[in-house]
């Protein structure tokens, strides 16, 4: 089975990055080891107003900034801690069950 077949759509994960950010690369590597699809928004290629709006929303000035199911979880350190505690997997699995239930109720 290929990686694409084993990965499931678990949760909408969005990670805001910049091209030169080492912690951003580390966060993406961690997420790539999970069966999760994530959307990267590279602020190096966005209008400065996008970064300003993000900073206003999260009260954080640094990247990466990571959202799971539209909830801001923090940056790399917080993602790493969630992973080490097992909470990251629980968050992603809980969201999978929620999404599957929503899909079944629409049928």
Show me where the domains of the chain are located.
7-89
- What is the rounded CA–CA span in Å between residue 34 and residue 44? 25
pLDDT value for 77: 98
pLDDT along the chain (107 residues), means of 10: 42 90 98 91 97 96 95 97 95 66 61
Is the Cβ–Cβ distance between 41 and 15 less than 8 Å?
A: yes
The maximal CA–CA distance of the chain, rounded, in angstroms, is: 45
Distance between CA 72 and CA 76 in Å, rounded?
Answer: 12
How many other β-carbons are positioned within 10 Å of the β-carbon of residue 56? Answer: 8
What pLDDT, on a 0 to 100 scale, did the predictor assign at position 8? Answer: 47
**Which residues, including other chains, have CB under 8 Å from residue 18's CB and lie 6 or more apart?**
24, 42, 43, 44, 63
CATH of region 7-89, choose from 3.30.2130.30, 3.40.30.10, 3.30.2350.10, 3.40.50.10470: 3.40.30.10
Report if pTM > 0.85: no
């Amino acid at each position: 089975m290929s990686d694409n077949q084993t990965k499931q759509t678990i949760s909408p994960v969005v990670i805001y990055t910049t091209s030169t950010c080492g912690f951003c690369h580390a966060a993406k590597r961690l997420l790539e080891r999970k069966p999760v699809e994530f959307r990267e928004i590279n602020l190096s290629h966005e209008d400065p107003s996008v970064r300003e709006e993000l900073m206003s929303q999260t009260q954080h000035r640094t990247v990466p900034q990571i959202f799971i199911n539209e909830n801001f979880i923090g940056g790399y350190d917080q993602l790493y801690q969630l992973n080490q505690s097992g909470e990251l997997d629980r968050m992603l699995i809980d969201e999978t069950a929620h999404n599957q239930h929503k899909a079944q109720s629409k049928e």
